[in-house]
Amino acid sequence: MNLRPIKIKTRGEEAVKSLREKIRRGRIRMVQAVLIQLIPRHERKLIVFLTPGYNWRVGGIFSIASLYQESIRMRSIHGATVVLCTVPGDPRFLRYSWFRNRNYILRLESVLRHCGRLESLLIHVPEYAVNRLVEWFESDASRLARKVKQVHVNVLLQNIDYVQGQNVAGLQRFGRVSCTTAHEAYSNLATRKALNVTLHRLSVYCGPEHYVRSSYEDKEPLLVVSPDQHPLKERILKQIATACPKLRIQIIQGLSYEAYKDLIRRAKWSLTFGEGMDGYFGEPVFSGGVSFAVFNERFFTPEFAKLQTVYPSWEALEQKITTDLVRFDNAEIYRERSRDCYELLASLYSVDKFRDNLRKFYLGDYTFP
């Protein structure tokens, strides 16, 4: 029997850890206090993007960061100061470290306390945190009414599944409510009716402009895999490893975004176990690769079901992917599979389209008013 030593934390170690955490939070509080002073007290219009107070490596955070940066550049349109704040109830947090940015994150309560009376307050809230914002409004409603003349809440619908159980209607008690969408599949009248608020197709800050597209000849025998959990994941990856022993399989974990982009530029294949139409599918294609996924009607538009690399079910993927990996590993066929998907994605996503959609939002020119 192999006995491994078990590390037991002593009271002293726990005390040191607690002290370090207090020091860390104290430093964040000090930096945030300085940054808040940069917001003009006389500012009458404020736009707030709520973002998680955790260093999660997820596409939604990168999307919010992009919206924040692009909104700052559109001040001539909306005329407001734009700030980034943690979702109410999340711990103090200053900056994400997994992608290059200078986006410093404040606390909503502190920002509002600093500002004088506001003519307008626009809060962009990710869909999963709607109920948290409703609770915050309920606890601070009277104070907010004294500080803000007009409140507008925009729900950032980045994942249609995450809005389930969220009290979007409850936000209407506190001001005007709208919703912007990230995926084309649910940017429609059905979603508008289901949520019963103004809906605007926003898309995401993504497009072929942001990627270096490498050719089949420059690709490595590498399959990158999304970190999502799935009951068939281990079995499918073992099957691929057995059938393609020269293929290196790498699950995306712990990489900076810049390192991830370099990896997908070199990788020949990609496989997502997530919602399908996600960054682990689209970004490798924009980098010249071939991506595999299972069709998910909540995220994919119908055209993607026709692709040979998008399977109708997980059972179909399990049955066919090893054969397809061998069959598509030919320069001409590989280019066809990559091009088919690339053209579909490029027809939906571009930075210029995203910026135009965001500009229309701030002008009040909504897709589904």
Q: Which tokens in the block code for residue 280?
A: 């682990």
Q: At how many degrees (to 10) do helices 351-363 and 59-73 cross?
A: 60
Give 260-275 pLDDT, tens digit per residue: 999 999 999 999 999 9
Enter the pTM of the model: 0.91
Q: Kindly state the average pLDDT of the residues 153-164.
A: 97
Please give the Cα distance from 343 to 330 (Å, whole number): 20
Q: Is the Cβ–Cβ distance between 122 and 83 less than 8 Å?
A: no
What letter would DSSP give residue 368? B
Q: Round the CA-based radius of gyration of the chain to a whole number and report it.
A: 23
Strand partners, 47: 82, 122
Give 36-63 pLDDT, tens digit per residue: 999 999 999 999 999 999 999 999 999 9
Q: Is the Cβ–Cβ distance between 257 and 62 less than 8 Å?
A: yes
Count Cα atoms within 13 angstroms, Cβ side, for 110: 21
Domains of the chain, CATH where assigned: 41-206+350-363 (3.40.50), 208-348 (3.40.50.2000)
Strand partners, 179: 155, 199
Please give the Cα distance from 282 to 289 (Å, whole number): 9
The predicted pLDDT at position 8 comes to 53
Q: Count of CB atoms within 10 A of residue 297's CB?
A: 12
Give 161-191 pLDDT, tens digit per residue: 999 999 999 999 999 999 999 999 999 999 9
Residues in the chain: 369
Q: CA end-to-end span of the chain, whole Å?
A: 68
368 pLDDT band, cuts 50/70/90, is: very high
Q: Kindly state the average pLDDT of the residues 68-97.
A: 97
Give 286-328 pLDDT, tens digit per residue: 999 999 999 999 999 999 999 999 999 999 999 999 999 999 9
Q: Is the pLDDT of residue 7 over 60?
A: no
The predicted pLDDT at position 20 comes to 75
Please give the Cα distance from 257 to 276 (Å, whole number): 19
Give 204-250 pLDDT, tens digit per residue: 999 999 999 999 999 999 999 999 999 999 999 999 999 999 999 99
Residue (of 88, 72, 92, 89) closest to 80 by Cα position: 72
Q: Count of CB atoms within 10 A of residue 66's CB?
A: 18
Please give the Cα distance from 19 to 110 (Å, whole number): 24
